[in-house]
Amino acid sequence: MIIIPAVDILGSKCVRLTMGDYGLKKEYGLSPLDAAVNWQDMGAKRLHLVDLDGAKSGNPDNFGIIRDIIKSVKIPVEVGGGIRDNKTIESYFDTGASYVVLGSILFKDIGSVSSSLLKYRGRIIAGMDMYDEKIAISGWRELIDMPLIEAIDGLKDNYGIETFIFTDIKKDGMLSGVNLDLISRLAKLNISLIASGGVSALDDIIKLKELNLSNLKGVIVGKALYDGRLDLKKANALLS
């Protein structure tokens, strides 16, 4: 398991939201590029970039900023937010992204990106954002009526998606601890998973490590890092 710092971009600024609420944003006094380079310098092994404007509009609104970040760091980068067509997927991979995270399009019109799912098999990650274990899409503003396990099995069996990011919206940005029960249940599925939401301090990293789940590949951390509650170097040392 590795720690994956999040760089969330809204209005060209580095922000963190609370429970996905665009009205509850906290801006940080550094640019998204500065944040990304800082986490790399602190020992990050991978970055999680999110175009929050794009997640709401359905367009790659912050493509230029994300491109500059990818060109400026030497570690793998995964990109999500507003990626809803083959052209955008192709553009991000062409600019050097290691992984692309898809969310809404997987449930609204997966057929339109099926060629990319095949072409980039192993590099497409499904972003499963959950509110009370229901899947949320369109910038977390819409809940879909599909059982979580059914959705996971369909994406894995029919489209070859192997890695899933599970975000607990109720815990996202709340610094309230991770949902260990949910992570443990999801880990029983034959998938690779990345946890997101709720990390508040080193103790949460310890609890995740103690689950001893071989298919828990990483945990995305945002506010705990930016607010100085979690020291990335200490956390990396613990995991190594």
Say how far apart CA 139 and CA 54 lie, in whole Å: 9
Q: Which member of 8, 51, 168, 172 is catalytic? A: 8
Cβ contacts of residue 134 below 8 Å, gap of 6+?
143, 144, 145, 148
What CATH code is carried by the domain that includes residue 109? Answer: 3.20.20.70
203 as an active site residue: the answer is no
Is residue 129 flagged as an active site residue?
yes
pLDDT digits (tens, 9 = 90+) for 188-233: 999 999 999 889 999 999 999 999 999 999 999 999 999 999 999 9
pLDDT in tens, 120-178: 999 999 999 888 778 887 656 678 788 888 999 999 999 999 999 998 876 666 566 78
Structural domain that includes position 226: 2-239
Own/partner contacts of 223-228, CB < 8 Å, gap of 24 or more, are 223/16, 223/26, 223/173, 223/175, 224/175, 224/199, 224/200, 225/5, 225/39, 226/16, 226/28, 226/35, 227/175
Q: Which of 53, 129, 172, 204 is catalytic?
A: 129
Q: Which residues of 68-80 are buried (b: 16+ CB within 10 A; e: fewer)?
A: bbbeebeeebbbb
